[in-house]
């Protein structure tokens, strides 16, 4: 599979399917459950929309990362949560209503925050690059908005008017999101292997540090606010698991820069490998807490 085919066809199609699946999972009941105790929601949005990008900028600056690594780090940091975080939250007996609400609100809010953070990142990390510094973000954001809002709206309409069909679409999106993301990351890494090898030391450390900081940030916010264990787990998952599909779409389709996809791709591989190793061990602990 060519990188152009991946970026122009498969990534947008995958994102549209995932957003439709997200739309089918939305309901007024979930929003009402979350708004009864809104502190978890406020802290989750604060962590995702403000603190994560701030950490990415500071990490890129303090480590003196290259333009490629710094932009990749900011791209993954300013992306919203994804369907994977809802699945993991459910598996670990977290607050699923809070997880879905955070994912949906951060997704819609990111249509405003992504262009702001990427514009700042371009001027900070690529000030002398004519290819990027004057990049027209507005058309790209409009395209991203169409890929997010239209499928999500269709999914929400299905859940209201055709709930049985909506449930099947949601199940399909959940089943396909992980294997498709693995395929995307394998294609990106395989096609850009020489570039990855060149920037390996430049990407490995920031990805590892960023993943640890994201998870710690979610747990720390919940602990400081004295929220219960279910909400703390949910905040850690939602803040740690960003939507890698959106990040790869931005890097490959809108910037048309494979180098910018290296950090999001490495992050996705590392986080999903960590989940594969940790989920079997964490789930019994979560179930014992629930009893």
Output the pLDDT for position 51.
Answer: 92
Q: Compute the chain's Rg from CA coordinates.
A: 18
Bridge partners of 81? 242
User: Is residue 216, in this structure, part of any structural domain at all?
Assistant: yes
End-to-end CA distance of the chain: 48
**Residue 289 counted as domain residue:** no
Q: Is residue 286 part of a domain?
A: no
Q: What are phi and psi of 237, to 5 degrees?
A: -70, -45
290 lies in a domain?
no
The pLDDT score that the predictor gives to residue 49 is 93
98-118 mean pLDDT = 85
Which domain, by its residues, includes 270? 3-281
Question: Which positions ≥6 away from 239 have C-beta within 8 Å?
Answer: 44, 47, 48, 52, 81, 214, 215, 217, 218, 221
Provide the pLDDT for residue 284.
52
| pLDDT (tens digit per residue) in 28-66 | 666 676 777 788 899 999 999 999 999 999 999 999 888
pLDDT in the model for residue 130: 47
214 belongs to a structural domain: yes
Range of lowest pLDDT (30-39, 108-117, 189-198, 227-236): 189-198
What is the per-residue pLDDT for 57?
A: 96
**Residue 20, token pair as written in the block:** 């439709």
59 with 73: CB under 8 angstroms? yes
In a domain, 242, yes or no: yes
Which pLDDT belongs to residue 52? 92
Average pLDDT over residues 240-247: 82
pTM for the full predicted model: 0.76
89 lies in a domain?
yes
The winner for highest mean pLDDT among 44-58, 94-108, 206-220, 223-237 is 44-58
Neighbours of 163 (CB within 10 A): 12
Mean pLDDT of the chain: 76
Give a yes or no: residue 104 inside a domain: yes
Per-residue pLDDT tens digits for 166-215: 888 878 877 776 676 666 666 656 665 666 666 666 777 888 888 888 88
As for how many domains the chain has, the answer is: 1
What confidence score (pLDDT) does residue 193 get? 63
Which residue has tokens 């699923």?
A: 96
User: What's the confidence (pLDDT) of residue 182?
Assistant: 65
Percent of the chain exceeding pLDDT 90 equals 11
**Maximum mean pLDDT: which of 5-9, 134-138, 158-162:** 158-162
Evaluate if residue 291 carries a pLDDT over 50: no
What value does the mean pLDDT take over residues 75-84? 84
26 forms bridges with which residues in the sheet? none
Please report, for the domain that includes residue 136, its CATH number. 1.20.1530.20
Instruction: Give 265-277 pLDDT, tens digit per residue.
Output: 788 777 766 665 5
């Amino acid at each position: 599979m060519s990188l152009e085919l991946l970026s122009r066809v498969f990534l947008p199609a995958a994102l549209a399917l995932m957003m439709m699946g997200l739309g089918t999972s939305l309901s007024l009941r979930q929003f009402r459950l979350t708004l009864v105790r809104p502190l978890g929601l406020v802290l989750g949005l604060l962590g995702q929309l403000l603190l994560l990008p701030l950490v990415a900028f500071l990490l890129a600056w303090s480590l003196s990362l290259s333009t490629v690594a710094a932009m990749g780090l900011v791209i993954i940091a300013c992306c919203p949560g994804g369907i994977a975080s809802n699945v993991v939250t459910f598996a670990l007996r977290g607050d699923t209503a809070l997880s879905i609400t955070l994912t949906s609100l951060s997704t819609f809010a990111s249509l405003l925050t992504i262009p702001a953070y990427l514009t700042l990142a371009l001027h900070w990390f690529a000030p002398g690059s004519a290819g990027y510094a004057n990049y027209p973000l507005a058309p790209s954001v409009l395209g991203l908005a169409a890929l997010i809002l239209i499928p999500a709206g269709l999914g929400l309409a299905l859940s209201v008017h055709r709930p049985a069909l909506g449930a099947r679409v949601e199940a399909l999106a959940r089943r396909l999101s992980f294997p498709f993301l693995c395929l995307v990351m394998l294609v990106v890494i395989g096609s850009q292997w020489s570039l990855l090898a060149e920037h390996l030391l430049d990407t490995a450390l920031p990805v590892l540090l960023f993943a640890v900081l994201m998870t710690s940030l979610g747990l720390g916010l919940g602990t400081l606010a004295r929220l219960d264990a279910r909400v703390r787990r949910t905040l850690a998952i939602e803040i740690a698991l960003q939507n890698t599909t959106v990040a790869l779409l931005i890097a490959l389709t809108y910037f048309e820069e494979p180098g910018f996809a290296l950090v999001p791709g490495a992050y996705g591989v590392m986080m999903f490998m960590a989940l594969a190793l940790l989920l079997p061990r964490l789930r019994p602990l979560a179930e014992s807490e629930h009893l």
